[in-house]
Every structure is written in C-alpha cells, then in structure tokens.
Structure 1
Amino acid sequence: RQATVTIADSEYEAFLELLHFIYSGKLTPTEPILVVDILLAADKFEVASCIKLCGERLVDLPMTAESAVMCLDLPCSISMAPALAEAAKKFLAKRYDKFLLTKFQDELMRISLTGIVAILSRNHPGVASEESVYDFVLRWAHFQYPNPEERHKILSSSLLPLVPVVRSMTNGILIDQPSCIVDFTLSRGQCSGLFPSGSIRSPPFYCGGHGFFLSAHGKMEPSNFFGLLIEKLEDKGPVRGTIDYEIEVKTRQSLEFLFLWRRTTTTDSRQALGCRIPWPSIIADNSRFFIDDKLHLRVHVKITPQP
C-alpha cells in the first residue's frame, strides 16, 4: 500500500530533518528558524518525540526576531507553545524597547501583526512619544495592508487600542478618505486641567491624504472659555480646494450628537478653525455637555479638490 505526502517548498528542508530524526533519533540543526520549521513539521505529522525535543531546544537557543514571531504563531496543539510565545514576547520587548529609533524602522516594517502587537503591548515609551507611536502604527499598517478596508479593520481592532494617546481621546478613526468622521472623548478631569491656560491635542487623523488634529484649549483671558480647534498638519502642503469642517457634541438631554459649529473654507491657509464655549457652561456640575463625566465630540472633515 502506498501513501503520498505533499509538502510545500518551504517545508522541504524541515521535512528532511524530520525524516533524519525519525530514522536516527538525532536532531542536529541549531538555527532557531529551522528548528521552528522542524517543530511545525513534527506537529503536522504527529511525531511527539521530535515536538518535545524541538521545544526544549528552542528554549535553550538564542532567539532572532523572525524566530520569535514564528513562536508567537505556533498552533495550540503544541504543548510548549504558550511557554515559547511568552519567551518570544519578552525577547521582542527587550530587543525593541526603543522601537521608535530610526535603525529599527526597516526591520519592524517586515514584522507580522502578532509581533507588532507583542512589542506595543510590552513597551510604554512615555507621553512625549505617544504621537510618534501613533505615526509608527499608521506607517506599519500602510506597509503591511495596502487595502484600505483591511487596514482600517486591523488598526481599529488590533493596533490603535494599544496606543495610549488614542485610548485617552480617540474612539474611532477613518484614514485617507475624501471625507471622514472622527469621534473624540475627553474626561471631565482632562477638561478641568485645561484651565486657566492649558491645551490637549488629539492624535492625527487623515482625510483625502491630508493630516488634521483636534485640539482643546482653556483660556482665562480676555474671557473664560473652552475652545475647540481643527488644525491641519504641515505634511503635504496647502489643500487646493474646498474644506468643510463641522464639530458636533453629544448632550445629556438627547444622548445624540448635535450641531455645535460649521465652517467652509476655500483658502490655502493653515489657519486653525473652531469654536468657543463659555467656560462656566462647559465645566458646571450640571453641564449638559457631560455624560457620566465624559465629553463626547464628533468632527466631520470633507475635502473637495479643485476641478
């Protein structure tokens, strides 16, 4: 009786090493990536003794970035998969503890989603670098996921929740659309901290290939007010065409977003645009703008290019 075994080209070397192990009982490779490949082959063909030996060897061998990412994706049928995944996370966190450095950027662009999630989950670069982390995440997503819908799904579900500045202010982001709607949330504590002359800035969001951000300000002079401004990043030069801006706020009475401010501009100016709310009405204990001590804002931006 004959049986046919089909293996992919990428599995060929690992399969030969597995055959060698079956007939000799010896596992000779010491290169981490090849050992992971042999482990996967042994799991595929249910060679338990080889699975055990490969797992033990991987624990003792120094990891590489590629082998660490492979260990994160091991099937749950491998008993040592959780231990190897934890070791891989520690390795990646240590290797890329300063992952914003220029020297790591090309290397990181080639790391898979599971690896990037592990790095972001274990490293906290500090408030001063949060926007740089956000920019890094966007660049990585653009590199790995050219399809906008797939990219947006990955960003929303897996990556942006790991960026502190996004967790603190941004609820949803649409990227590189001719028009976009972005929701922001500020706590009462964040708003109170703006008085008498503070400000807070959202992570950037993108519309029609141009970057924008929302900033909130507290001003005591010449009159006490809470200000909201939409500003354009200096990334791709002035916008040639019409830009429609709108800010909405959710109120306690309706629990729906209501119109707060609207502006259309046809200039190429980088001037920040927005509105002011008297400070007492925004921060009062019975303020209609806070729902469970949260201020919910919605920003609309639409770019219509010149014909």
Structure 2
Amino acid sequence: MNMESALLYLDLPSCVSIAPEVQLQDESTIIPLAAIEVLLSSDRLQVASEDAVYDFVLKWAHARYPVPEERREILRSHLLDHVRFPCMSLEKLREVLNDLDHELVSNLVNEALWFKADAPRRQRALAAESTHKRFTERDYTHRPLKILEFDRPHPQYIVYLDLRKEECATKLFPAGQIDSQSFHFGGHRFVLSASCYSNGITGHHFDLHLRMQPDGSASSPVITCKSCPRKKPFRDFLETFEKTYTFWGGNTEVSRSLLHLEWNSFIAAKSNYFIDDTLHMRVALAIRQAPPAYL
C-alpha cells in the first residue's frame, strides 16, 4: 500500500495529522496494519511531537491486537521501526522502558540517547547520511528540544532550541508563534515560545518566552534564566541575557521574556543570529529558591 492509497483509505488530505483527524475510537481498529505503516513512514505527517506518534502506535496496537504475544510481535516487526525515537523527549524515552520490555526497545532507546548526546553538527550529518528515517524530524507543530540535566549545586536544565530561518520568516512574521515541546522542571511543566509582535511604535520584534503551564499548584519557583543565541562570526554562545523571575503557581499560565530582538536586524540576509540558516538558542534554567505557598 502506498501513501496515496493509504490516505484514500482513511479519507485524509495529502498532509495529515494524527490528531484530531485520526482518533482511537472503536472504528479505528478497522484501519489495516499496512495503512498505519505507510502513514508512520511519512515525513508529511503533522504531529505535535514524536511523543504523540509513539502514544498513538501503542494505543492502536493495544486496540487492534489484545493478545500480548501477538501485539509484541507486531510492534517488533512492523511498528516500532517507524517511531523516530531520537526525536522523542527524554521524559517520554524514560516512559518507553516502563511501557515495553527492555529486550524490545533497549537498543532503540540507547541509540536515541547517544544521538541526543552528540553535537548538533554530528546530529545533522547523521540524519543526512542515514538511510533510515528515524533520525529525520517530521513536520512537528511543537519544536523538539535537547536538554541536559544537572542536580548540583542546584537543580538546573540547559535547554537547546533550533529554529530554521525559513520557518521564522513564514510562521512567525508578522504575528505568529512557534512553541517547543513541553518539559518538566522543578515540579512544573514549561514551554519555550518564540513569537513575533509589533508594539505599534518601534515596529516588529522577535521574542523568546518561557511559559509555565497552569497546574493548580501553590508552589512558585524562583528561576534564574540565562538565554544565549549562537552568533557569527565566532559561531558560539557568547552573548548571555540573564534574568531571574518568580513563576507564580495556580491556574493561570505564567509567561516571562528571555530574549527581545529588533525583527529586521534579526531576520536580515546578513543576520548574525542564523548559522547555516538556523537559529541556535541555549537557555540555562536554575532554581534558586521556592518561596513558601501562601493560602
């Protein structure tokens, strides 16, 4: 079954999304394995993240193959090879080892972890050289992140976000937004958000925000944020913008600005912020203190 016939079977457009178009209702179990394989092999599949692809595969397999031994064989021989584990979040990779037995996924998870630990240039080279698609990103609606975790001397994350110049020009300007995958830090869930906006006075600007998603928690972490883009001519993370914010807990999303740049100079043909047409951002997050919750 090719891509066209699979989409025709599912009555989906040529550029498809796993959600909400493909829902795991009772009728989804009639979708044949061949059609699922074709969809999962496509670079045109629009999903929030590869984590969503993995969740879909697991739920579909459970619905279609209720017998554990048969489901395990289908996952091993047909489905897991289409999941791009190197593009999944660290948080989800940890869950994979709990969802499935180690013999089935340990090599895939280890390969993904080695890939994530590699330098970005090596990652791009491996993705270009490999005949297997698992190193290639799909058209994710939430940009993947590379995260390094440290526990001492205090909880700290170093988060790397890459944005292509073409998507900045087409998806951000004049009033767009690109969100990263969410990540868990200091007991809360956060998102890096790039946007373009105009204040009506000084024109358009590029902004990078850190957003804490509402979770009803009463805790309010104090976080020092150090944001740094790679810049020419040294092609290194040299200029650091440091701010310390309190992220108040509760049921309202909290957003804090990390980086603010004039749009025309940011996106210019000779911009110092794009290296090989890619913006490379590094954001270091450190929890300094967590003030007591007040009732």
Change (3 A) 1:296 1:167: farther
- Mapping for residues 18-97 of structure 1, pairs under 5 Å: 93=37
The residue number in structure 2 matching 1:283 is 267
Distance in structure 2 (CA, Å) of the matches to 1:138 and 1:234: 24
- Contact persistence 1:202–1:214 (CA under 8 A): yes
Of residues 119, 136, 157, the one that matches 1:180 is: 157
**Higher strand share goes to which structure?**
2
Matched, 1:164 2:138: yes
Change (3 A) 1:151 1:303: farther
> What is the DSSP-based 3-state SS (H/G/I as helix, E as strand, rest coil) of the residue aligned with 2:238?
strand
The residue number in structure 1 matching 2:82 is 122
- Contact persistence 1:168–1:185 (CA under 8 A): no
When the two structures are aligned, how many residues end up with a matched partner? 210
Change (3 A) 1:306 1:216: closer
> What is the DSSP-based 3-state SS (H/G/I as helix, E as strand, rest coil) of the residue aligned with 1:186?
strand
The residue number in structure 1 matching 2:188 is 210
Q: Offset of 1:198 from its aligned partner?
A: 0.8
Q: Bigger CA drift: 159-168 or 178-187? A: 159-168
Q: Offset of 1:242 from its aligned partner?
A: 1.9
Distance in structure 1 (CA, Å) of the matches to 2:183 and 2:110: 15
What residue identity is the alignment partner of 1:205? F
Distance in structure 2 (CA, Å) of the matches to 1:158 and 1:117: 23
The structure with the largest alpha-carbon Rg is: 1
- Contact persistence 1:226–1:282 (CA under 8 A): yes
The residue number in structure 2 matching 1:250 is 230
Matched, 1:302 2:290: no
**Higher helix share goes to which structure?**
1
What residue identity is the alignment partner of 2:169? S
TM-score, L = length of structure 1 = 0.52
- Contact persistence 2:61–2:75 (CA under 8 A): no
Distance in structure 2 (CA, Å) of the matches to 1:176 and 1:258: 21
Q: Deviations over 1:35-69 (max 9, x none)?
A: xxxxxxxxxxxxxxxxxxxxxxxxxxxxxxxxxxx
- Mapping for residues 189-204 of structure 1, pairs under 5 Å: 189-193=166-170, 194-204=172-182
Of residues 204, 211, 226, the one that matches 1:231 is: 211
RCO (CA 8 Å, sep 6+): is it higher in 1 or 2?
2
Q: Bigger CA drift: 202-211 or 293-302? A: 202-211
The residue number in structure 1 matching 2:104 is none
- Contact persistence 1:196–1:219 (CA under 8 A): yes
Distance in structure 2 (CA, Å) of the matches to 1:235 and 1:117: 39
Q: Offset of 1:246 from its aligned partner?
A: 1.7
Distance in structure 2 (CA, Å) of the matches to 1:238 and 1:116: 43
Q: Offset of 1:208 from its aligned partner?
A: 3.0
Q: Offset of 1:302 from its aligned partner?
A: 1.4
Q: Offset of 1:172 from its aligned partner?
A: 1.6
Q: Deviations over 1:198-251 (max 9, x none)?
A: 111111123234321111111134231111111113347354332111211000
> What is the DSSP-based 3-state SS (H/G/I as helix, E as strand, rest coil) of the residue aligned with 1:286?
coil
- RMSD between aligned alpha carbons? 4.8
Matched, 1:141 2:96: yes
Q: Offset of 1:188 from its aligned partner?
A: 0.7
Change (3 A) 1:196 1:92: closer
Q: Offset of 1:181 from its aligned partner?
A: 0.5
Distance in structure 2 (CA, Å) of the matches to 1:228 and 1:117: 42
TM-score, L = length of structure 2 = 0.54
> What is the DSSP-based 3-state SS (H/G/I as helix, E as strand, rest coil) of the residue aligned with 1:99?
helix
The residue number in structure 2 matching 1:73 is none
Give the percent of matched residue pairs that are identical in Structure 1 and Structure 2. 24
Distance in structure 2 (CA, Å) of the matches to 1:118 and 1:232: 38
- Contact persistence 1:183–1:298 (CA under 8 A): yes
- Contact persistence 2:89–2:145 (CA under 8 A): no
